[in-house]
Amino acid sequence: MSAFRSRFFWKTYLTFAVLFFITTIMVSWIGFYRIQSTIHGIILENLQAKAEFLLPLARQAMAGQLPDGDAQLRRLGADTNTRITLIARDGKVISDSEGVAGDMENHLLRPEVQQALTQPFGFSERQSATLGKPLLYLAKAVRAEDGTMQGVVRVSLSTDKIHGELSQLRWTMLLIASLGVVLALGIGWNLARRVAVPIREMVQVAEAMRSGRYEQKVRTITDDELGRLGDTLNRLGAELTSKIAELNRLETVRRDFVANVSHEIKTPLTSIKGYVETLLSGAINEPRTSLRFLEKIERNSERLSNLVQDLLSLARIEATEESLKLTATDWCEVISSVIARNEDVITQKSLRVKVSGISTPQLVMGDREAMTQVLDNLLTNAIKYTPEGGRVSVVLSAKGAQTRLEVEDTGIGIPPEHLDRIFERFYRVDKARSRELGGTGLGLSIVKHLAAAMGGDVQVESSVGIGSKFTVRLQVAT
């Protein structure tokens, strides 16, 4: 991703660049002037020492006690790379290591000489009239033993070389500073980019999220707070995606549910309405037909009533799923009462029902009403989907902290591809057949919800044509 279009990048980078530029210029400037003044100081000290050193010789020369003074000055000057000048009290040049004293003008008014007359020493930097090049001058008064002023000794140094070197230093420093600036600008560029690119990416991802696209990801995940922010944004996107998928799924379930309920209500209602209309339009006068129709109306009303009851059950379970009050309840009692309740249909279909494991009470953590509903649904199914003369067995057993209740039949069985779905609301393997038998497909979903509400579960095994086995597991009461 390019950083060039990031305002943040340019703001940060330009601020940094300007700051760095100003700082570098200031530091170099100050550095240079400090070095220059230090060099100046050293030269001055050096000249001062030389002047001090020359004082005895100057005193002798001025007193006329040094016949070969000129030659000595020249030699000393050449040896120390210094120009030495002796000037009398009245400014007349007595001797000069590099010029001819007689040819030189009166030096009384030279600034360094003037200063030396009143102060410890005089100093000046200017173009030399004698040599025609820039010089640094230092002058010191020469006094006799008794303190009378005899004249001035002056030492001077050509500043050509110093100026040359200082200007070279200035260029070197400028070069280093420029290199530093270029390097820093490069590094700063990179740094600003490293911050700006993820930020720009995150802004884009956040904007995408705002407009509903949650799948866009931040790709630059660095090992710092920015990286954490990007990662968090990615996780947020993933969470939202899955939440939205879940919401969509729930919405589909809800819509299907409403459609199913409407359909299930409409079918019996339409029949009832049809029969009633037919009766009203005359059929009521034929006793046999009207009896048949009334029976049909009764069956359909029964269906409607069952459906509404199941729906209420489901709604209640869902509302109280977490608040179902569990107490120690005896499975055996529930089993006996449910079997008794279904005795009629069992004999009607001449089914053989075998119950085992109920000789001693089996206490589980449950709710009597819920357990009754669970077993009743399983048993009704077993009876409903088992042909006449078949066998149904109800087996109760305990294993560790769990009890297992198995309801097994020798019925039609459930094809494997439906096993996953029979616990869904309204799901029926064979819609037409089940409806004919008065089913709406809510029974097993009620069983599943109730088992879960009691901290247990329900499982199914089945083979087509052989039979089915439903197993409910609940916790043993402690």
Residues that bind ligand ATP (CB under 6 A): 310, 377, 381-382, 385, 409, 411-414, 422, 427-430, 434, 439-445, 468
Closer CB to Mg ion, 297 or 422, in the complex: 422
Closer CB to ligand ATP, 300 or 377, in the complex: 377
Q: How far apart are CA 214 and CA 210, in angstroms?
A: 8
- Token code pair at residue 145: 């033993």
Closer CB to ligand ATP, 158 or 471, in the complex: 471
Question: Quick one: residue 282, left, alpha or beta (phi over 0 = left, psi -120 to 50 = alpha)?
Answer: left
Q: How far apart are CA 156 and CA 80, in angstroms?
A: 11
CA distances from 47 to 59, 123, 138, 163 (A): 18, 10, 6, 17
Q: Does 468 bind Mg ion (CB under 5 A)?
A: no
As measured in angstroms, the least distance from the Cβ of 317 to ligand ATP is 14
As measured in angstroms, the least distance from the Cβ of 373 to Mg ion is 11
Stretch binding Mg ion (CB under 5 A), from 27-35, 63-71, 108-116, 441-449: 441-449
**Phi first, then psi: what are they for 191, rounded to 5°?**
-60, -50
Stretch binding Mg ion (CB under 5 A), from 35-43, 210-218, 376-384, 389-397: 376-384
Closer CB to ligand ATP, 128 or 306, in the complex: 306
Residue 97 near which of Mg ion, ligand ATP, none (CB within 5-8 Å, type-dependent): none
Closer CB to ligand ATP, 198 or 443, in the complex: 443
As measured in angstroms, the least distance from the Cβ of 202 to ligand ATP is 49
Q: Cβ(472)–Cβ(404) under 8 Å? A: yes
As measured in angstroms, the least distance from the Cβ of 421 to ligand ATP is 9
H or E segment and range at residue 135: strand 134-143
Q: How far apart are CA 316 and CA 376, in angstroms?
A: 17
Closer CB to ligand ATP, 251 or 420, in the complex: 420
As measured in angstroms, the least distance from the Cβ of 398 to ligand ATP is 24
H or E segment and range at residue 17: helix 7-62
Those residues whose C-beta lies under 8 Å from the C-beta of residue 181, and which sit 6 or more positions away, are 20, 21, 24
As measured in angstroms, the least distance from the Cβ of 431 to Mg ion is 13
Judged by CB under 5 A, which of 381, 410, 462, 468 binds Mg ion? 381
Closer CB to Mg ion, 151 or 443, in the complex: 443
Which one-letter amino acid corresponds to residue 393?
A: S
DSSP string, 40-54: HHHHHHHHHHHHHHH
Q: How far apart are CA 87 and CA 92, in angstroms?
A: 6
As measured in angstroms, the least distance from the Cβ of 254 to ligand ATP is 19
| Closest listed residue to residue 144, CA positions, set 87, 255, 205, 59 | 59
Stretch binding Mg ion (CB under 5 A), from 141-149, 231-239, 373-381, 389-397: 373-381
As measured in angstroms, the least distance from the Cβ of 291 to ligand ATP is 26
E strands, 194-287, are: none
Q: Cβ(350)–Cβ(388) under 8 Å? A: yes
Closer CB to ligand ATP, 268 or 439, in the complex: 439
With tokens 């100050």, the residue in question is 30
As measured in angstroms, the least distance from the Cβ of 255 to Mg ion is 24
Judged by CB under 5 A, which of 237, 268, 443, 456 binds Mg ion? 443
Q: Does 445 bind Mg ion (CB under 5 A)?
A: no
- Token code pair at residue 135: 């010089």
List, in sequence order, every residue forming a beta bridge with 404; answer none if it has no partner: 397, 473
Q: Which residue is nearest to ligand ATP (CB)?
A: 443
In the range 317-346, which residues lie near Mg ion by CB under 5 A?
A: none
E strands, 144-220, are: 149-158
As measured in angstroms, the least distance from the Cβ of 271 to ligand ATP is 17
Q: How far apart are CA 396 and CA 331, in angstroms?
A: 8
Closer CB to ligand ATP, 366 or 439, in the complex: 439
Q: Does 198 bind Mg ion (CB under 5 A)?
A: no
Stretch binding Mg ion (CB under 5 A), from 75-83, 127-135, 374-382, 466-474: 374-382
As measured in angstroms, the least distance from the Cβ of 272 to ligand ATP is 19
CA distances from 26 to 29, 31, 37, 169, 200 (A): 5, 8, 17, 16, 34
List, in sequence order, every residue forming a beta bridge with 139; answer none if it has no partner: 122, 154
Residue 440 near which of ligand ATP, Mg ion, none (CB within 5-8 Å, type-dependent): ligand ATP
Closer CB to ligand ATP, 215 or 302, in the complex: 302
* Total residues at interface with Mg ion (CB under 5 A): 2
Closer CB to ligand ATP, 362 or 434, in the complex: 434
Q: Cβ(163)–Cβ(134) under 8 Å? A: yes
3-state secondary structure of 29: helix
Binding site for Mg ion (CB under 5 A): 381, 443
